[in-house]
A and B are shown apart, each in its own frame.
Chain A
Amino acid sequence: MAFFRFIGFSGVRAWQGFWRNAMMSLATTATVILMLVLLAGLFVVISGLSSGLAFIESKVAVTARLVDDLSDAERNSVIAEIKALAGVKTVTYVSPEMAMERLKQVYRDRGQELDLGGAPIKLYSSIEINLTETKYSDSVGSALSSYKEVAQITTKQADLDKLLGVINVIRTVGVIAIVLVGLTVLFMIINTIRIAVYARAGEIEIMRLVGASDGFIRWPFILEGLLCGLIGALVAIGLLAIVWDPIQPVMFSVFQMPVAVGARFLATLSGLLLAVGLGVGALGSWISVRSYLAA
């Protein structure tokens, strides 16, 4: 019962404190929102790129363009030999007709029609080799190069490396940006709580004199900081929910992957925003209370 009275007392005073200096509190909350929106953006982009990466990795593949005019027997014997190589999961033959059909599909996906103007274009035939693991990419590639039936080899390793590079750059830049914004937010919260402490200096002195415990003196301020974080997080989550559906097509076209893997992704992201919002609120006010309410 005494605990609930303590929570009630601290909560009410935190709420009063928040609105007593509304301008400062709202400015701080706005910086929390800014930080969390940035964080959400980074999280979405990194997740999108990572799922793209996973998609490519799941298709770790080597494509071997075959020389023209191979007989079926020659082709089948090459395929059989390649199947026997270490690390090879599946081998798929793509005929020139199938390649043409795929090309047309790519155009259709973009809402266009492939128009060759009636030119007799014949695409290459190729075999697509899926690997059990990325590490076999090099050995399979070099084994393939010894075949005279193979005209050209492309591996996905290059794509993978490029994507990893992009992810690393975005992650680094994003993390630096978020740390800088996070420090600003922390500074804002420390200041807001410091002002709140000063505004209540008279009350704090009386609380000390009449024997209020440290908890009664400090927790209202910590809750006030948490309130900035909480409101900021809720607004950021609300914004995210509003823009979520409209950005899906954009995400799909950028990452070639739907980022929203069901409602779980959104729930995870909301949880992250809430945790970071509350965390920075608590940390800021705790630092402030420690520095300005030293016993």
Chain B
Amino acid sequence: MTSTLLRTSAAPAEVITAERVISMVDAGVTYPNGKVALNDVNVDIPAGDFIFLVGASGAGKTTFIRLLIRDVLPTTGHVMVAGSDLSRMRRRDVPKLRRRIGIVFQDFRLLPNKSVFENVAFALEVTGASRGEIRERVPQLLNLVGLQDHQSHLPTQLSGGEQQRTAIARALVHDPALLIADEPTGNLDPVTSWEIIQLLIHINAMGTTVLMATHNQEIVNAMRRRVLALENGNLVRDESGAAYEREY
């Protein structure tokens, strides 16, 4: 009797947590100034997906990302990320959520006075990792992003691509379920942009879900992955194997 009850009540929740990294149900965000940034967004993103988030400036991409890292709360609907309902999450549990999400930005956001190694190590240090863990984990990540020979360089001594690789290594320190890349190639030349994309594909292949917000049509068109298009806060297109623009 007990086991039946457990199975029927627990099974659906487990399906959601195991298979969907992101689930938005009628999610909307209206800022205190009355601006509707997102409106009734419904989207499910299964684990292991590679998704492009496209849309003009002001379409709601940034709010979409802020929702995922619980930087803003949905004013309507629900947002589930990595198995947690963000509206019901206690404030002190937010850091735990953020360790399950890695994030990189167009402007890299590296600490200028810290070396490549220290920038990556910082993310471990501030979450209470031991020196042993740091010594073990950071070189692994720097190998993964191909910066093993640049450990002691300061960000100013690196190219844009190398800085973005450092940021990606930092985003991966906690082995996140989801990697969010907000315009990661926005400051990079085309060749370097492709190198970064290759790295993201590699990370995705290892099992991490990747969500990349971008304006780069060439990359989206060449990759033919799932595309979420936002327009004035509305999700106007959710299409697999798609191009940057609507093709029909």
Asked if A211 and B111 sit within 8 Å, CB to CB, the answer is: no
* Closest beta carbon of chain A to B147's beta carbon, Å: 18
B170 sits at the interface (CB 8 A):
yes
Contact between chains at A213 and B109 (CB < 8 Å): no
Whether B92 contacts A211 by the Cβ 8 Å rule is no
Q: Distance in Å from the Cβ of A53 to the closest Cβ of chain B? A: 53
B residues within 8 A CB of A208?
A: 98
B174 close to chain A: CB less than 8 A: yes
The distance in angstroms between the C-alpha atoms of A149 and B98, with both chains bound, is 94
- Contact (Cβ within 8 A) B122 A211: no
Closest to B109 in A: A206
Q: Which residue on chain B has the smallest CB distance to residue A9?
A: B125
Q: Which residues of A contact B111 (CB under 8 A)?
A: 202-203, 206
Partner of B127, one of A1, A202, A212: A212
Contact A211 B128 (CB under 8 A): no
**Residue contact B92 to A213, C-beta cutoff 8 Å:** yes
Interface SS majority for chain A: helix
CB-nearest residue of chain B to A6: B128
| B residues in contact (CB < 8 Å) with A | 69, 91-92, 94-100, 103, 109, 111, 122-123, 125-130, 170-171, 173-174
Q: Could you say which residues of chain B place their CB within 8 Å of the CB of A211?
A: 95-100, 127, 174
A-B contact pairs, 30 of them (CB 8 A): A5-B128, A5-B129, A5-B130, A9-B125, A9-B128, A202-B109, A203-B111, A205-B109, A206-B109, A206-B122, A206-B123, A206-B170, A210-B99, A210-B122, A210-B123, A210-B171, A210-B173, A210-B174, A211-B96, A211-B99, A211-B127, A211-B174, A212-B126, A212-B127, A213-B92, A214-B92, A216-B127, A216-B128, A217-B126, A295-B94
Per-residue interface assignment for chain A, residues 180 to 209, with 1 indicating a CB less than 8 Å from any chain B CB and 0 otherwise: 000000000000000000000011011111
Given contacts A206-B170, A211-B174, 10 further A-B contacts (CB under 8 A): A1-B130, A203-B111, A205-B109, A210-B98, A210-B126, A210-B127, A212-B126, A214-B95, A216-B126, A216-B128
Cα A190 to Cα B170 with chains together (Å): 32
- Is A80's CB within 8 Å of the partner chain B? no
Q: Contact residue range for chain A?
A: 20 to 34
Known: A202-B109, A207-B126. Contact between A213 and B98, CB under 8 A?
no
Cβ of A2 under 8 Å from chain B: yes
9 residue pairs, one from A and one from B, having the closest CB atoms = A211-B99, A211-B98, A212-B126, A210-B123, A211-B95, A213-B95, A207-B126, A216-B126, A2-B128
Minimum CB–CB distance from A43 to chain B (whole Å) comes to 42
Interface residues of A (CB under 8 A from B): 1-2, 5-6, 9, 202-203, 205-214, 216-217, 295
Q: How far is the CB of B98 from chain A (nearest CB, A)?
A: 4
Nearest CB of chain A from residue B106's CB, rounded to whole Å: 14
Q: Considering the chains assembled together, what is the distance between the CA atoms of A206 and B98 in angstroms?
A: 11
Q: What is the number of contacts between chain A and chain B, taking CB atoms within 8 Å?
A: 57
Most buried by B among A205, A209, A217: A209
**Assembly CA distance A15 to B13 (angstroms):** 47
Q: Which residue of A is nearest B128, CB measured? A: A2
Q: How far is the CB of A16 from chain B (nearest CB, A)?
A: 11
Kindly provide the distance from the CB of B8 to the nearest chain A CB, expressed in whole angstroms: 34
Q: Which of B103, B128, B174 has the most CB of A within 10 A?
A: B128
In whole angstroms, what is the CA distance A212 to B96 when docked? 8
Q: In the complex, what residue of chain B is closest to A207 when comparing beta carbons? A: B126
Q: Which chain B positions have C-beta within 8 A of A295?
A: 91, 94
Q: A135 to chain B: closest CB distance in Å?
A: 60
Complex CA gap A9/B123 in Å reads 13
Q: Which of chain B's residues have a CB closer than 8 A to the CB of A203? A: 111, 122
A214 to B125 alpha-carbon distance, docked (Å): 14
Q: Name the A residues within 8 Å of B125 (CB-CB).
A: 9
**In the complex the two chains form, what is the Cα distance from A206 to B155 in whole Å?**
15
Task: Give min CB distance, B66 to chain A, whole Å.
Answer: 11
Return chain A residues, CB-CB under 8 Å to B128.
2, 5-6, 9, 213, 216
Q: List chain B residues, Cβ under 8 A from A216.
A: 126-128
Give CA–CA (A162, B99) in the complex, Å. Answer: 69
Q: Report B81 CB to chain A, min CB distance, Å.
A: 13
